[in-house]
Amino acid sequence: MQPTSTDNRDKVWSILCHASLVFFPLLLPLLVYLVKDKSPFVEHHAKEAFMFHVGVLVALFTSKVLMLVLIGFLLFPLVALSAFILTVWAVIQTWNGLWYSYPVTGRWAQKI
């Protein structure tokens, strides 16, 4: 079990990184990672959110291409709903101060 974070500023920055999938995917986690004087907690969540956003955008683009063969019409809403659910779960876990890792990103984010 990883230690929890109790600093509310760290939690807010981390939550913004995860929730940015709705408005500024890739941009906010990358900016937070590169610019913010960050704690290890914020750095972890910025990397996790960035890698998840990359995966979601690739999956959505692939779904759009697959709409040419009709399977994309089923795949696109499935990817979007899954991304929404995983993002909400990440925000909840981060609010509780946990070092959340998305189940679909593997350990790529820790290797950066």
Q: Each residue of 10-54: pLDDT tens digit?
A: 899 999 999 998 888 888 999 998 887 778 899 989 999 999 999
Residue 82 falls within a domain, yes or no? Answer: yes
Q: Of 10, 5, 45, nearest to 29 (Cα)?
A: 45
Residue 110 falls within a domain, yes or no? Answer: no
Does position 85 have pLDDT exceeding 70, yes or no? yes
Domain count, the chain: 1
In angstroms, how far is CA 97 from the centroid of its own chain?
A: 16
Residue 19 falls within a domain, yes or no? Answer: yes
User: What is the span of the domain harbouring residue 18?
Assistant: 8-99
Residue 16 falls within a domain, yes or no? Answer: yes
Residue 12 falls within a domain, yes or no? Answer: yes
Residue 112 falls within a domain, yes or no? Answer: no
Residue 107 falls within a domain, yes or no? Answer: no
Does position 9 have pLDDT exceeding 70, yes or no? yes
Residue 88 falls within a domain, yes or no? Answer: yes
Q: For residues 18 and 90, is the Cβ–Cβ distance under 8 A?
A: yes
